[in-house]
Structure 1
Amino acid sequence: MANIYAFKIIYWRFMPHFLLIFVQTSFSFLYFVTEAAFKHGLNPHVYVTYRYFLGCAVVFPFAYFLERKVRPKMTFPLFLEIFVLSLLGASLTLNMYFASLKYTSPAFITSMTNTIPSITFIFATILRLEVVDVRNPRGIAKILGALMSLAGALTLTFYKGPEVRSLQGAPIHIRSNPAQQNWIKGSFLLAASCITLSMWFIMQVYTLKKYPAQLSLTAMINFLGGLQSAVFTLCIQHKLEAWYITFDINFWCIVYAGVVICALTVFLQLWCTKQKGPVFVTMFSPLSTILVAILAYFFFGEELQTGSLLGGAIVIIGLYLLLLGKEGDQDQIKSQVQSSPTYDEEKDPHIEMETSQEEKAIQQGLEK
């Protein structure tokens, strides 16, 4: 029984790590599916609208039945807060993200998104949601990790280096469109998208305190995000043909994005944010860039550049440093159990933990 109880402790301690690795892996596959759909004629803004409505349709039944007794009462100020949360993390962010794709390149976009952890870390520190003690080695590790992740992202972006030839034996060969224009406009849109997404992760901490029903919150974010995106799309897209989806790669792209990305990963990110904080969640985003590079080379026959490999290595080191620094903020085991767990403990697998420094800092920030 002692071994089973120890396994439960390890399982719940590292569950956020495993879930966030799954989230970033899902995003990596989304990149290739979405690129293929866009080349097949799928409108980016219509795509954003449909994926969020589908995500809401998937999550809503679970939210309605599983959270009937725990769902807080909806008030107008709370609705406005969730509306802004949906704007920052769904419609506004993704529409700017895919608009920037018209003016830059996919490699540039996936590289620039690695600045999100550093931006989130800065916002969290300013709002006192993140504990940073420069006199403590863990605090120094956090700062160095964030700076190294930012340096790795800049290396990925601005240093190309010699090209590594594509793998001839790759199952699928794709060719990127080299014709790009207006990089300044594209960079501005992408930078704004990264900032709004960082604000979304920060705002989740406050909203989850008032509305802890995560499934219901996921459904509302998807519905409001889809509604906001639909209004925006109708203002700029007047052709009804753009809304017609045929049963091909465009259809499966929307299904994958709606079910896996908008429904499952949004819920998982909300859960991990509540457990570990916004900085911890965003620090896994660089893994998506590394996975994209690996998949692009070995499975899709794309050429790699030494700058991408070097920047990816720097990002991984920075990620390790920041996670090492945050490990000291995680919940500590209250006491070692001398006997086997009771029936209630086995019924509820969540292990009681002491309040961490990070949670105390979050509480102080909310009170202020």
Structure 2
Amino acid sequence: MACALKATFTRYKPHLSMIQTQVGAAIVYFLTEAAFNQGLNPYVYVTYRLLIGGLIMIPFAYFLEKKSRPKLTLALFLELVFLSFLGGGLTYNLFFLSLKFTSPAFVSSVFNTVPSLTFVMAILLRMEIVNVKSPRGRAKILGTLISLAGVMVITFYKGPALKSLWEAPIHMKRQHSVHEKRVLGPILSVSSCLVVSSYFIMQAHTLKKYPAQLSLSAWINCIGGVQSAVFAVSLQHKPAAWSIRMFDISFWAILYCGISTALATFFMVWCVKVKGPVFAAMFSPLQTITVVVSAYFLLGEKLYTGSILGAVSVIIGLYVLLWGKERDQSYSNSQHQSSLPSDETIAADKTEEANLAEKEEP
């Protein structure tokens, strides 16, 4: 019984890791929104968040991977700098800049295109093989299309709102100073999604050269934090913007989000190494679903039928794609096992070698 439970946990550990990552990201959304409403600068927040995440990862990376960490060459370091730029400063700052010109609901919905974009990029770069003649390949394509259709429903269709069943236990004051721009906002949102997809793809490439997952997570956060600090200073010259009061909402938001960033980066790096970039990206829609459901039950926000229909489609598409990938991996493993010599073949080869050696003896 214990062995069966251990085997089941090992098999679904990547799934649980990504679910935990997206749920943690949903909590980050509410803490961040509350901190921004109290005056926290978004670019300062991104800098502190990445630097704290990096500082948390450094001791684990140093002691646990001291002997297994590859040698860091100049070319590899420059690649890490570019990877950190994609996954750290550029991604987060584009996200919050697009949030300034649109709305949280729009940005979080558009962000769900990341799995589909990553899947298409992986196919173009031959990192993901799709055999349309096999059920596995058709499942991956169908799952991507269903998930993308669900994202489109969430983004463009509201439908009637559901009636609240009870009074919200948490009340959050919101600022209504969002300056919507029909062209610039969506362009920035789509750009952030393209950057995240590129980050997943490049991460898989870098892991082949630098397989130390903890060290890579520490590098991404630290270098991304420094890059974000340079960007933030160029936009925010007032020293008061960098001052954080102890134990207020901004302090707790930065602390929690820094810890969440460290864990999320490590889990994503590990899942990309074990399952590939498409697998890690496919769990991104769960963040929006968690945010929408939590906002309805905890904050009393309106929940529209379009969001429900879209969420169901996203989950179905996610399940279908993961089914295809699991079957793909099982098929690859079986092919690899069949290509290996069997015990009988090895024994026969050894017997033949022994007979030849006896004949060659004088």
Matching residue of 1:128: 126
What is aligned with 1:329? 328
1:363 matched residue in structure 2? none
Task: After TM superposition, list the pairs within 5 Å mapping 1:118-197 onto structure 2.
Answer: 118-174=116-172, 176-177=174-175, 179-197=178-196
* 2:343 corresponding residue in structure 1: none
The aligned counterpart of 2:98 is 100
Counterparts in 2 of 1:1-368, with a 5 A limit? 3-174=1-172, 176-177=174-175, 179-247=178-246, 248-260=248-260, 262-331=261-330
1:325 Cα shift? 0.9
Distance 2:127 2:86 in 1: 19
Cα displacement string for residues 178-211 of structure 1 (whole angstroms, at most 9, x for unaligned residues) = 5442132111111110000001111111111100
Whole-Å separation in 2 of the counterparts to 1:197 and 1:355: 35
Counterpart amino acid of residue 211 in structure 2: P
* Equivalent-residue separation in structure 1 for 2:8 and 2:331 (angstroms): 12
Q: Tell me by how many angstroms 1:264 deviates.
A: 0.9
- Structure 2: distance between partners of 1:292 and 1:6: 34
Paired residue type of 1:259: I
> Residues 149, 175 of structure 1: CA spacing in aligned structure 2 closer, same or farther, 3 A cutoff?
farther
Give structure 1 stretches of 5+ with no counterpart: 336-352, 357-368
Alpha-carbon shift at residue 177 of structure 1 (Å): 4.7
| 1:334–1:77 distance in 2 versus 1, CA, 3 Å | closer
Take 1:19 and 1:162, find their aligned partners in 2: how far apart are those partners? 35
Task: Note the C-alpha offset of 1:137.
Answer: 1.2
CA deviation vs aligned residue, 1:134-174 (integer Å, no higher than 9, x gap): 00111111111111111111111111111223443221133
Hey, what's the Cα distance between the residues in 1 that align with 2:5 and 2:144?
31
Q: Is the CA contact (8 Å cut-off) linking 2:154 and 2:310 kept in structure 1?
A: yes
1:172 and 1:312, CA in 2 relative to 1: closer, same or farther beyond 3 A?
Answer: same
Distance in 1 separating the partners of 2:251 and 2:263: 18
Q: Point out the more displaced range, 103-112 or 168-177.
A: 168-177
The verdict on how the C-alpha distance between 1:136 and 1:65 changes in structure 2, with shifts beyond 3 A counting, is: same
Asked if the contact 1:44/1:98 (under 8 Å) is kept, the reply is yes
**1:85 partner letter:** L
Query: TM-score by structure 1 length?
Result: 0.87
Q: Distance in 2 between matches of 1:60 and 1:27?
A: 22
Amino acid across the alignment from 2:44: V
Question: Displacement, 1:5?
Answer: 3.4
Mapped contact 2:37–2:174 kept (Cα < 8 A): no
Q: Is the 8 A contact 2:201 2:277 kept in 1?
A: yes
Structure 1 CA distance for aligned equivalents of residues 224 and 323 of structure 2: 35
1:360 equivalent in structure 2: none
- TM-score calculated relative to the size of structure 2: 0.89
The size of the alignment, in residue pairs, is: 336
Distance in structure 1 (CA, Å) of the matches to 2:69 and 2:159: 53
* Closer, same or farther: CA 20–355 of 1 in aligned 2, 3 Å: farther
Query: Matches of 1:167 and 1:74 in 2, distance apart?
Result: 57
* TM-superposed deviation, 1:6: 3.2
Give the drift of 1:265. Answer: 1.1
Mapped partners of 2:79, 2:202: distance in 1: 9
SS state at 1:108 partner: helix
Give a deviation string over 1:297-346, Cα, whole Å, max 9, x none: 111111111111111111111111111111112257979xxxxxxxxxxx
Q: Give the whole-Å Cα distance in 1 for the aligned partners of 2:3 and 2:129.
A: 30
Question: Which amino acid is the alignment partner of residue 74 of structure 1?
Answer: L
How far apart are 1:355 and its partner, in Å?
Answer: 7.6
1:191/1:149 CA distance change after superposition, 3 Å: same
d(CA) in 2 for partners of 1:198, 1:355:
32
RMSD: 1.9
2: distance between equivalents of 1:186 and 1:161? 23
**Cα distance, 1:355–1:156 mapped onto 2, change above 3 Å:** farther
Q: Residue 128 of structure 2: SS of its match in structure 1?
A: coil
Point out the structure with max Rg over C-alpha: 2
Equivalent AA in structure 2 for residue 218 of structure 1: S
Q: 1:303 to 1:134 in 2, by over 3 A?
A: same
Distance in 2 (CA, whole Å) between partners of 1:354 and 1:86 is 35
Once the two structures are TM-superposed, the CA of residue 112 in structure 1 deviates from its matched residue by 0.8
